[in-house]
Amino acid sequence: MADDKTPAPDARQDVGAPPAGAGPVIPVIAERSMDAQTMKAFAHPLRMAMYSRLMDVGSATATSLARHLDESTGQTSYHLRQLEKHGLVEEDSGRGSGRERWWKPLGYRLHVEELGQDAANLRVMHSVLHEGLRLRMENISSYLDAAPTEPREWVEASVDTTTTMTMTLEQERALGEELLEVIERHKQALGPSGSAPAEGAESRRIRLYLSLFPLVDGADASAP
């Protein structure tokens, strides 16, 4: 895992395949670009926590989110509507009995360079990016703590690696595109229902973090 905290120039939240029957697969390249207004609406601690929980479980109701986050259902219902208004969540039509709505997250792209041109956006943008970084490290740390008691086959299938190379811009771009193509191919293989394991096979929600960016701390060996 990377140990550099410099944000990548194009931050993405791509929603992985939800549980079976939970709706269509979201492509790995999120088509929605987060504008300044949406970013400011998203940069609310409870909304970011709710979105993170939806990413973890695939979809949830306002009631289950309230229970998990120790909030009132009124609060989670209100903030879900705000997230829906800005295109960050939508109703999961494949779940629920009609008594309560289920919600699933939608992927987005946050263009750091574009939004960072306006100084008024910087504080909000940093809040969103660093909260994402905090959650990333929290999730990785939780897994590493649990690994000794996890089934060995799941631990052996997991990957934790850091690689540093000297590349041209074209080489970096080609590597990024190829990695995303591999992710997309494996997601598409899951089928439209999300995860459809073979009969008797165990399935779990899987989180993949992929960071590819140039170092900016003076460690660039290609510099004169």
Locate 152 and state its tokens.
Answer: 């060995």
- Which residue type sits at 75? Q
In 3D, which of 29, 24, 58, 53 has the Cα closest to residue 190? 24
Share of the chain above pLDDT 70, in %: 78
pLDDT band at 116 (very low <50, low <70, confident <90, very high): confident
pLDDT digits (tens, 9 = 90+) for 72-111: 999 999 999 999 999 999 999 888 666 789 999 998 888 8
Residue 23 has pLDDT above 60, yes or no: no
Q: Which of 16-30, 62-76, 89-103, 208-222 has the lowest mean pLDDT?
A: 16-30
User: Which pLDDT score, from 0 to 100, does residue 112 have?
Assistant: 85
pLDDT given at position 51: 96
pLDDT for the residue 157: 94
Q: Read off the pLDDT band of 145 (50, 70, 90).
A: very high
| Residue 62: pLDDT over 90 | yes
9 to each of 2, 36, 102, 190, 209, how far by Cα in Å? Answer: 15, 16, 33, 29, 15
Q: According to the 3-state scheme, what is the secondary structure of 99-120?
A: CCCEEEECCEEEEHHHHCCCHH
Domains of the chain: 10-188 (1.10.10.10)
| This model's pTM is above 0.85 | no
Whether residue 13 has pLDDT greater than 70: no
The stretch 191-206 carries a mean pLDDT of 72
- Expressed in angstroms, the distance from the first to the final Cα of the chain is 28
Coarse DSSP helix, strand, coil percentages of the chain, rounded to the nearest 5 percent: 45, 10, 45
- Give the pLDDT score at 220: 53
| CA 48 to each of CA 19, 77, 156, 216: distance values in angstroms, whole numbers, following the listed order | 21, 14, 31, 28
Is residue 155 over pLDDT 50? Answer: yes
Nearest CA among 201, 193, 105 for reference residue 157: 201
For residue 200, pLDDT over 80 is answered with no
